[in-house]
Structure 1
Amino acid sequence: MRVLFIGDVMAEPGLRAVSLHLPDIRGEYDLVIANAENSARGKGISKRAYRTLIEAGVDLITLGNHAWDHKDVYELIETAPIIRALNYPPGTPGKGYWVFTHGEERLLVVQVMGRVFMDPLDSPFLALDRLLEEVEAEYVLVEVHAEATSEKYALAHYLDGRVSAVLGTHTHVPTLDAVILPGGTAYQTDVGMTGTYHSVIGGETETFLARFLTGRPQPFRAAKGPARFHATELVFENGKVRAISPYIWEEPWTPSEY
């Protein structure tokens, strides 16, 4: 089973990157997952952003701490192939996991949110313990949407040998630490951002500079510019991950275009 996980899709450049490139490679994968919590103008998800991703070939969408920034999500999350963090309190709309069937094998995809420098949700460690006792699958892919690299690494080691892969999202900075841990679990601290890197983590550079130089709040504006597609490939075989590989594509462009 071949799976492609697309890192945080950021605003119009991110949607454009997915629309331009994913259809060309979609046939190589059994399942395509995309984090889209920043797909609608940089914060949250909208019906338009959802349709763009699905039409391009995305099978499953994950969210994050900006999950609720657009009211469209409340309608989408109840029926569409979208998951939010598992460790939200009971009663939160939507689902924290998804089960994908490929032949006779099942892949459990689950997202948890970190708590360090983020919202004080339930423990992602204990939430995953409970889920792994309740849901059985040949393979388990855990997305950790978190700020602190230490929390991501700790969770990966905690789960090593119990899940197939742990992939980090949220910081919008791709890391070159893709590895298979001693217990057999594949791990990468952050898949990276799908969007324009002519920015400050996807935001307009001038606005962020004004914030840092003045110390005063500034309105958020998503950056424009050439798109870059960041993802991670996973190959599942015989009960474990056989390979983990970062994947990058850049939109052809000339400076005059932007």
Structure 2
Amino acid sequence: MYQLLLIVLLAARASACGQSSYPPYFSKVVNGIDARPYSWPWQISLEVGHGNSFSHTCGGTLISSNWVMTAGHCITLGRTYRVVLGEYERYVYEGGEQVINPSGIFVHPEWNDNCISCGNDIALIKLSKHAILNDHVQLACIPTSGSILLNNAYCYITGWGRVVTNGPLPAKLQQAYVPVIEYATCSTRDWWGSTVKNTMICAGGGEKSGCNGDSGGPLNCKGRDGRWYAHGVASFVSSSGCNTLKKPTVFTRVSAFNNWINQVMYYN
């Protein structure tokens, strides 16, 4: 019965995902540009509470109408969070935002706060109500289990992370072209070495990178079917700086966690 219901769940989720009413800009910029408004409609802002106010802390990806995928390191026990969907320019109310509180947060059981390079940096947030899907809010597709991106695969990182190391967080959603660096290269000694695992994806490097505030957000890669897939969850960058040469942004590889994702969504 579980297997049958799981197939139905996956089919429903895949039937209308990875499509945008506002196609993204496709310039291969290095340091990121303002994204076209609502062109990445699965991108969410995860906000953390500070007394009576909230502020952006991480990104995330809407993968079902009531489930968001983000990074394990974005979640701190005892803190209050909320999810903002349909966001483009922070600090400006644009009329299409949906603010939804979590009803449950599930961090991967093998995530270790003291060892980010050990992997398993992934978490799921169940929303307290279903998001309304429209031109501003849509689902990203999830890659099939075990799928591996080819070297130099065409992908984009999106988020409200810093444009430069130690700079301010931008108001508008940013995007940057970050081609994939194959594991065989990224795991060599003069790149990330043994720090990077085969359950991770390297993308970008040099001037093309994610930065603080992008954590938890998607690595968006276009499939042969024309849909956008969230192949990665932004995990970490070099302590020497976000755009350090031969230290590309490292993402949790989503296709290594399909079983866990499906089980959490099914049983909760």
For normalisation by structure 1, the TM-score amounts to: 0.29
